[in-house]
């Protein structure tokens, strides 16, 4: 049954009251997600842990994420951290390749490529707004976050993708700061990564990689284990360790305590109208920008994240003292609006800072 699309009903599903403006740091669990995680602990404590059921739950998480991201489920790999999954993509780069990244992007996306200097891999940076124009004939891969963590800037993904295709470069897009409020998934990109604990409101410990059909053979399963097969229960021991036919070959064994909570969160995400979520989050963010006297977002590039210069941290300190959970990144104060936020949060920020 589809959940109510009224924002006040969404807020009622989360225990936190007004003032939590930090989905860009960590999302909040809904009541259903909390119940799922507590149920796991109770079963575990009572000796009822069922590893095969947990494996089925992991497969449901894969399937749910695939639907959210808009790709077939065999294109999705399960992991625990974005950097681990980016490292898999990095394994497919030839010696001497150039990787183009967005300046100031999150380290989990860029760091794995920096560690390939011994193979002659060069990492070059350009502002995300100039990334499409910065792609050159030597560029093998363009890696960028669809929404920048430090600034909330939304990348012109179509322009970057088209320029990369023209240059023969592949694309790797981090959806961690976008998927869950921005209705743009993995389709059309060669690789994407996403940790589900921010805007998808899942517990920390479940991340996803998508691989375009045919590209799995260009990558190496750096941490292959018993969960890297299509039938995981027949590949537990040495002597029979086949790789999955699709992206599942890059799987890591799921983190058992959080997989049930991840399934609950992804189910709820699918039950909400993505356009309604986007309108709610960006509408509150636009109202906050107006209250703070900040420029409007570019049409079509509206963001749920609002940032402004706060080099001394005085605005962040004032927000914290007023009971607002916000964050500071790269000299900016940063607030974010998601399912549990209402106009009351906009008013609270406005009264505190203006």
**Domains of the chain, residue spans:** 7-31+273-353, 51-270
Q: What is the pLDDT of residues 167-223, one digit of tens each?
A: 999 999 999 999 999 999 999 999 999 999 999 999 999 999 999 999 999 999 999
The alpha carbon of residue 216 and the mean position of all alpha carbons in its chain are separated, in whole angstroms, by 21
CATH fold of the domain at 51-270: 3.40.640
pLDDT band at 9 (very low <50, low <70, confident <90, very high): confident
**pLDDT tens column, 91-149:** 999 999 999 999 999 999 999 999 999 999 999 999 999 999 999 999 999 999 999 99
For 23-66, the pLDDT digits (tens) are: 999 999 999 999 999 999 999 999 999 999 999 999 999 999 99
φ, ψ of residue 174 in degrees (nearest 5): -90, 120
C-alpha span between 75 and 123 (Å, rounded): 27
Number of Cβ within a 10 Å radius of residue 324: 20
CA angle 230, 84, 44 (to 5 degrees): 65
Instruction: Please state which architecture CATH assigns to domain 7-31+273-353.
Output: Alpha-Beta Complex (3.90)
Tell me the pLDDT band of 7, cut-offs 50, 70 and 90.
confident
**Has residue 333 got a pLDDT over 90?**
yes
**DSSP secondary structure, 252-294, as one string:** ----HHHHHHHHHHHHHHHHS-HHHHHHHHHHHHHHHHHHHTP
Angle, helix 51-69 to helix 256-271, in steps of 10 degrees: 40
pTM of the model: 0.96
Distance between CA atoms of 216 and 189, rounded to whole angstroms? 14
DSSP letters for 137-174: TTEEEEEEESB-TTT-PBP-HHHHHHHHHHHT-EEEEE
């Amino acid at each position: 049954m589809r959940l109510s699309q009224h924002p006040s009903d969404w807020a009622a599903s989360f225990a936190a009251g007004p003032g939590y403006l930090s989905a860009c740091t960590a999302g909040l669990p809904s009541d259903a997600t909390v119940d799922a995680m507590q149920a796991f602990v109770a079963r575990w404590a009572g000796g009822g842990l069922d590893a095969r059921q947990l494996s089925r739950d992991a497969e449901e998480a894969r399937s749910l994420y695939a639907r959210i991201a808009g790709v077939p489920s065999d294109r999705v790999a399960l992991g625990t951290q974005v950097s681990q999954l980016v490292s898999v993509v990095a394994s497919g780069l030839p010696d001497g390749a150039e990787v183009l990244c967005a300046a100031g992007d999150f380290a989990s996306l860029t760091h794995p490529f920096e560690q390939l200097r011994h193979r002659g891999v060069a990492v070059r940076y350009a502002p995300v707004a100039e990334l499409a124009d910065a792609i050159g004939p030597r560029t093998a891969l363009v890696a960028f976050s669809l929404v920048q963590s430090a600034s909330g800037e939304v990348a012109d993904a179509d322009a970057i993708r088209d320029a990369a295709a023209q240059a023969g470069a592949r694309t790797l897009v981090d959806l961690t700061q976008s998927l869950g409020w921005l209705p743009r998934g993995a389709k059309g990109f060669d690789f994407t990564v996403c940790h589900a604990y921010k805007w998808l409101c899942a517990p920390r410990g479940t991340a996803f990689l998508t691989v375009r059909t045919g590209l799995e053979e260009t990558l190496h399963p750096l941490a292959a284990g018993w969960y890297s097969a299509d039938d995981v229960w027949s590949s537990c021991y040495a002597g029979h360790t086949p790789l999955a036919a699709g992206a599942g070959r890059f799987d890591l064994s799921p983190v058992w305590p959080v997989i049930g909570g991840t399934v609950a969160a992804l189910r709820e995400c699918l039950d909400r109208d993505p356009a309604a979520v986007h309108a709610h989050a960006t509408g509150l963010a636009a109202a906050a920008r107006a209250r703070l006297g900040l420029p409007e977002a570019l049409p079509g590039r509206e963001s749920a994240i609002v940032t402004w210069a706060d080099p001394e941290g005085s605005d962040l300190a004032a927000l914290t003292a007023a009971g607002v959970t916000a964050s500071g990144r790269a000299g900016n104060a940063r607030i974010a609006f998601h399912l549990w936020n209402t106009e009351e949060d906009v008013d609270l920020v406005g009264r505190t800072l203006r």
